Amino acid sequence: MTPNTVEPPQVVEQTRLRMPEPEPKKKRRVWPWILLLFIAGAATYLYPRVSQMAPAPAPKKAGKGGATVPVVAAAARRGDMPVYLNGLGSVIALNTVTVRTRVDGQIVKVHFTEGQFVKEGDPLVEIDPRPFQVQLEQAEGQLAHDQALLANANIDLERYKVLFSQDAIPKQQLDTQISMVNQNGATIKSDQAQIDNAKLQLVYAHIISPLTGRIGLRLVDGGNMVHAADVNGLAVITQLQPIAVIFNIAEDSLPQVTKRMSAGQSFVVNAYDRDLKLKLASGTLLTIDNQIDQTTGTVKFKAVFDNKDLSLFPNQFVNARLLLETKHGAVIAPTAAIQRSPQSTFVYVVKSDNSVEVRNISVGITEGDEASVEKGLDAGEKVVVDGIDKLQQGTKVNVRMVGGGSRG
């Protein structure tokens, strides 16, 4: 092809198609670098905190040939184990009296102060006695008048008897006089009843305490008019010594109690505070209700307490514990030593060579921090109560006895 030769258009178009086009210039991407810088900064900020919150690696359990594990142990003992029936209860006053007036009148004097302990027969309130004194004098005057009429009727009767014996008067006149004497005698009896009633009103005007107990807040002040028909009383007295507690026990335990009560056994009942930690008082079971509450499946028990220190107060909530029986000579171990698995209940027993043995046991009654062991453990054997999570069968231990020294 010569330089002056002109290529046909088809050849020029094919040549253009075969020539590669220049590649576009790549753009620099910045956002991946920003993301990497953000991740690095976050890791630098969070690493110290995550390392502090990370759980410490679990200690390796000491094997038979490893280092000894420090533990705390206690010796099982033989003793008496009480069996209790527990129930929720409330304190009630053994007797409660609302002091009311039995006569109408004005209060002229109040002899008690609020919260005072009063004895039976102590004066409480005095109502104005003058109206009743006037009634008494009127009745006494009427009695004297009727007694004079009776005396005169008796004199006339004696005269009529003499005249009738002489046939001077008819029999009817004598009978009328006898009736008059009897009528005057009945009137005197009525007058005497009026006198007794007036004296009784005078007694009622001086209101006294019907029982020994603690008097509450005063409901009526001095100077007020009171009536026998008033709804509210003058004061309320509650007997605090002795005092009672009513508590509920499950109906399933009822046969055990009734059987022993029929045999003459008395039951001790202890009252504890709301948290079941502080013993408030000790008393005896008084009686059992005559029916079961079907809504709760419980029976009401009533116990009585001397309450000499006034530790119990009416309407106070308490936990009542009835001592059903005491198992003597039971093997007792701390509850902290008793471990449970899906297969069994066991303890770690420290042997004479300071190694531990996994011992399956049968637990009986649990009372507070102690439990009776029916089988699997003897009195005097040492059981681990602290450091159990590091133990396995045959682990060597360095023992520190509860309340004593160490033994390794």
CATH classification at residue 334: 2.40.420.20
In angstroms, the CA 359 to CA 350 distance is 10
- Predicted confidence at residue 367, as pLDDT, reads 83
Three-state DSSP at 384 gives strand
Domain, as residue range, for 203? 96-236
Query: Do you find a cis peptide bond into 9, omega within 30 degrees of 0?
Result: no
Domain-located, residue 40: no
In angstroms, the CA 95 to CA 287 distance is 16
Domain-located, residue 218: yes
Same domain, 202 and 107: yes
Could you tell me if 303 and 237 are in contact, meaning their C-beta atoms sit under 8 angstroms apart? no
- Predicted confidence at residue 283, as pLDDT, reads 95
| CA R_g for the chain | 50
Domain-located, residue 39: no
User: What domain count does the chain have?
Assistant: 3
User: H or E element: which one contains 184?
Assistant: helix 171-204
Could you tell me if 102 and 204 are in contact, meaning their C-beta atoms sit under 8 angstroms apart? yes
- Predicted confidence at residue 31, as pLDDT, reads 63
The pTM score is: 0.64
Same domain, 203 and 303: no
In the chain, the N- to C-terminal Cα span, in Å, equals 111
DSSP 193-219: HHHHHHHHHHHHTEEE-SSSEEE---S
In angstroms, the CA 132 to CA 129 distance is 5
The beta-strand segments (E) located in 199-316 are: 206-208, 213-215, 225-226, 235-238, 243-250, 268-272, 279-293, 298-305
- Predicted confidence at residue 59, as pLDDT, reads 43
- Predicted confidence at residue 96, as pLDDT, reads 94
Same domain, 338 and 310: no
What does the buried/exposed string (b/e) look like for 104-143 if buried means 16 or more CB atoms within 10 Å of the residue's CB? ebebeebebeeeeebeeeeebbbbebebbeebbeebeebb
In angstroms, the CA 212 to CA 233 distance is 18
In angstroms, the CA 15 to CA 91 distance is 115
In angstroms, the CA 216 to CA 346 distance is 57
Q: How far is CA 199 from the centre of its chain?
A: 48
- Predicted confidence at residue 404, as pLDDT, reads 58
Last-in-domain residue among 285, 300, 328:
328
Pairing of strands 317-334, 268-272: antiparallel
Q: Which residues contact 308 (CB under 8 A, 6 or more apart)?
A: 241
- Predicted confidence at residue 244, as pLDDT, reads 96
Q: Which residues contact 83 (CB under 8 A, 6 or more apart)?
A: 323, 324, 325, 326, 327, 365
Same domain, 308 and 197: no
In angstroms, the CA 177 to CA 160 distance is 8
Give the residues across from 293 on adjacent strands: 298
Last-in-domain residue among 328, 354, 386:
328
- Predicted confidence at residue 197, as pLDDT, reads 95
Could you tell me if 318 and 271 are in contact, meaning their C-beta atoms sit under 8 angstroms apart? yes
Could you tell me if 76 and 335 are in contact, meaning their C-beta atoms sit under 8 angstroms apart? no
Three-state DSSP at 305 gives strand
Same domain, 223 and 138: yes
State which amino acid sits at residue 248: N
Three-state DSSP at 394 gives coil
Each residue's pLDDT tens digit in the chain (408 positions)?
444 444 454 544 444 445 455 555 445 566 666 777 777 766 666 655 544 444 434 444 444 445 788 999 999 999 999 989 999 999 999 999 999 999 999 999 999 999 999 999 999 999 999 999 999 999 999 999 999 999 999 999 999 899 989 888 899 999 999 999 999 999 999 999 999 999 999 999 999 999 999 999 989 999 999 999 998 899 999 999 999 999 999 999 999 899 999 888 899 999 999 888 899 999 999 999 999 999 999 999 999 999 999 999 999 999 999 998 888 999 999 999 999 988 889 999 999 898 999 999 999 888 878 899 999 899 999 999 998 888 888 889 998 988 655 555
Domain-located, residue 266: yes
